[in-house]
């Protein structure tokens, strides 16, 4: 029997009992769709996290105070500390950017938004990562010196406060302090429910004067001269911070976050998470395969007469084996194709705030696995059919 004849025979066998075949197809389809979709969710989550970390720049460090004001004024990381590190011209450090932050109500003449992220920083903030200005301009060093009431606004907040026009040149009040919008940030990707585009950024001196005071900063962003120099820059900054603060490595009132290392760790964790999701989804494929075995055993029993006649007419064991294996593989392949279609449709919709991203290799892999499942779980029923003696088969008629 040729391959084409086997396939035609398999299709005839599948359509002979449509309801049974549909239920078996459904089991395989759900298994394949689950594998592709859960891998896509894991991949989408990984890309979201990686994007968020990359926005900070893989050549940056973030220094965050841990001691706070209770550690004493000599152990506070202030803007002056950041300026001293910058002035030292360390060999691997390009820029030191102090930041203070808070959550305040921001209002225009027509709308008001609560719990908006308010950041005070320097113009260098807009040169690191993806914090570029898409419209208007950033505030200047002169604005920082003069504590100017200028600000750059994120695109989400701009749309919320000024739905019918451009916010450039318009005035908003931040916690009761009026600020003039001079620029709009470029669109940035969201991380889960956190929207980095719902933010307002002003000169650090203005935010300190109006809201936070002149104590410890929220963080220092340190930009290394290159991605390869991050570790060296971290060592230089740590030594100088300990000198300026009068501390040692044993009692450092701060922590340094290496964005490159964070990205590596996140990528490793995301890969493990994706594999785990795929393994969980594979269980449903296993269940579908067991269903194929059951259906094929019933099919062999029902077609005892056909098997006996074919064997009496000279059909070999290999021909009978191939016929039933082809039927099982065709059945699971059809289920796999339907599963791929279902997964591609499902991947168009966000799941818990995460947009699934289908892995390019998951589709051919899923189809290959579905055929392999058909062959593997169809071997036993096919072998039973092939081993049937003609006299026994004809006697059962």
pLDDT at 133: 94
Give pLDDT, residue 180. Answer: 96
Residues 6+ apart with CB under 8 A from 107: 113, 161, 172, 173
Low-confidence spans in the chain with pLDDT less than 70: 1-7, 9-10, 13, 50, 52-58, 67-74, 189-194, 263, 353, 390-397
Q: Give 115's contacts (C-beta < 8 A, 6+ positions apart).
A: 103, 104, 105
CA distances 96 to 11, 46, 198, 225, 270, Å, are 69, 29, 24, 11, 31
- pLDDT value at position 166? 92
Predicted local distance difference test score (pLDDT) of residue 201: 96
CA distances from 86 to 190, 224, 240, 249 (A): 31, 12, 11, 21
How high is the pLDDT of residue 72?
Answer: 45
pLDDT at 70: 41
If phi > 0 it is left, if psi is from -120 to 50 it is alpha, else beta; for residue 37 that is alpha
């Amino acid at each position: 029997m040729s391959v084409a004849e086997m396939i035609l025979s398999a299709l005839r066998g599948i359509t002979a009992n449509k309801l049974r075949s549909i239920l078996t197809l459904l089991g395989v389809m759900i298994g394949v769709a689950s594998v592709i979709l859960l891998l896509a969710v894991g991949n989408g989550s990984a890309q979201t996290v990686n994007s968020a970390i990359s926005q900070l720049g893989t050549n940056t460090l973030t220094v965050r105070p841990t001691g706070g004001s209770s550690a004493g004024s000599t152990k506070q990381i202030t803007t002056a500390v950041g300026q001293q590190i910058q002035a030292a011209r360390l060999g691997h450090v390009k820029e030191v950017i102090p930041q203070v932050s808070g959550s305040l109500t921001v209002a225009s003449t027509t709308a008001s938004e609560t719990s908006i992220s308010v950041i005070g920083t320097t113009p260098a903030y807009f040169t690191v990562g993806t914090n570029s200005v898409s419209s208007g301009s950033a505030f200047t060093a002169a604005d920082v010196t003069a504590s100017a009431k200028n600000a750059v606004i994120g695109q989400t907040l701009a749309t919320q406060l000024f739905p019918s026009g451009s916010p450039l040149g318009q005035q908003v009040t931040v916690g009761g302090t009026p600020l003039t919008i001079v620029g709009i940030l470029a669109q940035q990707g969201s991380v889960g429910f956190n929207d980095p585009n719902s933010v307002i950024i002003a000169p650090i001196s203005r935010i300190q004067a109006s809201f936070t005071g002149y104590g410890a900063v929220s963080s220092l962003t340190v930009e290394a001269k290159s991605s390869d120099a991050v570790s060296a820059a971290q060592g230089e900054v740590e030594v100088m911070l300990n000198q300026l603060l009068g501390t040692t490595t044993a009692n450092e009132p701060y922590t340094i976050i290496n964005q490159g290392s964070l990205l590596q760790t996140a990528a490793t964790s995301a890969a493990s998470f994706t594999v785990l999701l795929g393994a969980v989804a594979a269980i449903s494929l296993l269940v579908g395969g067991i269903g194929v075995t059951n259906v094929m055993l019933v099919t062999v029993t029902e077609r005892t007469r056909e098997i006996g006649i074919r064997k009496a007419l000279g059909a070999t064991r290999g021909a009978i084996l191939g016929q039933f294996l082809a039927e099982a593989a065709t059945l699971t392949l059809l289920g796999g194709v339907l599963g791929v279609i279902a997964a591609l449709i499902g991947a168009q919709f966000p799941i818990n705030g995460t947009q699934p991203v289908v892995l390019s290799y998951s589709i051919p892999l899923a189809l290959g696995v579905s055929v392999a499942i058909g062959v593997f779980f169809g071997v036993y029923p096919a072998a039973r059919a092939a081993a049937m003696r003609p006299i026994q088969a004809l006697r059962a008629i």
